[in-house]
Amino acid sequence: MIKFIPIAAQAGITGFESPAAEYTQLDLSLDKILIDHPSATYLGFVEGESMTGVGIFPNDLLIVSRAETVNTGDVIVATLNGVFVCKIADTKNKQLISYSKRHKKYQLTDGDEFIVEGVVTRSIRLHRPLKKGFT
């Protein structure tokens, strides 16, 4: 169980009361909030900068669901010719779109080995490095 302490963001301090004075205990579970289909969900860490334009940065944690149907505009994780990629799906034009000016769209062809591994449903920014053993 997580103890939740509601603290309103303010530009300055107006009083001396402790922000923890009226804390509330909530039955809060991050897996219940972040994961819609536990048996079809996996986590992955981002490498590279091709998706920074949509707020996905190196070392972010992605929550990826295999239970979701891929729609145009979805951020997906896929295997493309044996390499894991994270891109925006354009199902109509059969393209993979990076959201960085340094990376071009990729036009899928019949010769490509392409498998969608899942749809990114959430991403989490890690402000401190993880402890050893997680990466």
Query: Over the stretch 92-125, which tens digit does the pLDDT of each residue have?
Result: 999 999 988 888 999 999 999 999 999 999 999 9
> Is residue 11 pLDDT above 60, yes or no?
no
Tell me which DSSP letter residue 121 carries.
E
Residue found under tokens 């894991």: 84
Question: Of 32, 39, 65, 87, which one is the catalytic site residue?
Answer: 87
Q: Which two tokens stand for residue 56?
A: 């996905």
Pick from 91, 32, 82, 85: nearest CA to 62: 85
Type and span of the H or E element at 43: strand 41-45
> Is residue 31 pLDDT above 60, yes or no?
yes
Question: Of 3, 32, 50, 65, which one is the catalytic site residue?
Answer: 50
Enter the pTM of the model: 0.77
DSSP-based three-state secondary structure for 34: helix
Using one digit for the tens of pLDDT, what is the confidence trace for 42-75?
999 999 999 999 999 999 999 999 999 999 999 9
Tell me which DSSP letter residue 59 carries.
T
Domain boundaries, the chain: 37-124
Q: Which two tokens stand for residue 95?
A: 């393209």
Q: Which two tokens stand for residue 31?
A: 């897996």
| 37-124 maps to CATH 1.10.3470.10 | no
Q: Is 18 a catalytic residue?
A: no
Q: Is 101 a catalytic residue?
A: no
The pLDDT value given to residue 5: 45
Q: Which two tokens stand for residue 74?
A: 């979805």
